[in-house]
Amino acid sequence: MNAAQADRAATEYLANPRAPMPAPLVRRLGLKEYEPLWRAMQRFTDERTPQTPDEIWLLEHPPVFTLGMNASATHVLSPGDIPVVQIDRGGQVTYHGPGQLVVYPMVDLRRAALGVRDLVTALERAVIDYAATLGIVAHCRRGAPGVYVDEQKLASVGIRVRRGASYHGIAMNVVNDLEPFNRINPCGYPGLTMVRLADLCGVASVEIALEGLLPHVLRHLYRAEPV
């Protein structure tokens, strides 16, 4: 199916008021190398049809710095032995590593009636609401996507939309080593400091954070619970 055929099929599917929205599939993937996982997201997005269920991938990555499409390499200060990968999301440079919870929502935005800003807001609100259950007051900032606690950043957001569907997503610091963030200007902001749940409230594992965050992600995206 080429892009024009996919667009026609999507229009016909959405024009049918009785067409059900398939329930999203949640995949807990564990620790995955960055580049193969990124390529898998691209393939999923390119091959999906209007009937394909959305998928939410939850995972961790080995240490890696990622640069957005229009990111400046000057924000990578001293990567050392951590690889740097140029990718196709928006935003500047960030770090992923073990102990950080990454959520990749592959969402058909047309079917879900969501804009890109709606998707970013849903992910930010999910983290803010989860943090509130832990007694943490978190917030977002105008013009600086992500979730913050006071002046420190708890979660970073970067999205790509292709063929009306999203991939990439949000990364929340849980028990990860924060030192690698000192090797970059996180999200392009010199001097920005990061914070993790382990230091804010004692959350001791990514697994605990995953189970706590997931219902909020699904509620904000679909007003639904996990399947």
Answer yes or no: 187 catalytic. Answer: yes
* Contact residues for 9 (Cβ-Cβ < 8 A; gap 6+): 1, 49, 50
Dmax (CA) of the chain:
55
Of residues 114, 187, 195, 197, which has the active-site annotation? 187
- What are phi and psi for residue 158, nearest 5 degrees? -150, 130
Give the helix/strand (H/E) hosting 168: strand 165-173
**Contacts of 144 by beta carbon, 8 Å cutoff, 6+ apart:** 187, 189
- Is residue 11 helix, strand or coil? helix
Angstrom distance (rounded) from CA 185 to CA 181: 7
CA gap 170, 62 in Å, rounded? 16
Reading the block at residue 151, the tokens are 């002046």
Q: Are strands 64-67 and 84-86 parallel, antiparallel or unpaired?
A: parallel
Find, among 130, 167, 166, 165, the residue nearest to 147 by Cα. 130
Residues identified as active-site: 187
